[in-house]
A = this chain, B = another copy of it.
Amino acid sequence: MKDGDSYVGDVLAADCPTRQVLKHLTSQWGTLVMLVLLRGTCRFSLLRRRIGGVSERMLAQTLQLLEGDGLVLRVAYPVVPPHVEYSLTPLGMEAAARVAALTDWIEANLDEIQATWAAA
């Protein structure tokens, strides 16, 4: 691999680092966090209210993973009570767009899928 060449990952390989990123983005809460943030900056508590069923613990953990991948930006204002704003980085927006494409498709085709469920 020469300088300037970028390493192209292969998700099908068990030890490819892409697997980690995929895991973060497709984790139960990761997907939903990206979805909400795609609509705009949001603070912790609002994020928690928007995403039905997340616990504080999981939301915090998920946000840290996504921040660690450079997809989410965390900005904390040193006030009391604490005020922290989460948003997508440019990179995160690209990823979130793909995630949203998938969830939108699912929402739009739910009834067709449910028809299969009913048939069984």
Contact = CB atoms under 8 A, between A and B. Distances in A.
A93 to B, nearest CB: 11
A83 interface: no
Given A14-B53, A23-B28, A99-B102, A9 B70 contact: no
- The quantity of this chain's copies bound in the complex is 2
Interface residues of A, number: 54
A8 B106 contact: no
Nearest to A103: B11
Contacts of A9: 106-107, 110
18 contacts: A9-B106, A9-B110, A11-B103, A12-B32, A12-B35, A12-B36, A16-B52, A17-B110, A22-B31, A22-B102, A23-B28, A26-B28, A26-B102, A69-B117, A70-B116, A95-B106, A98-B105, A102-B102
Q: Which 5 A-B pairs have the closest CB atoms?
A: A70-B116, A14-B52, A14-B53, A26-B26, A98-B102
Interface of A: 6-18, 21-23, 25-28, 31-32, 35-36, 50-53, 68-71, 91, 94-95, 98-99, 101-103, 105-117, 120
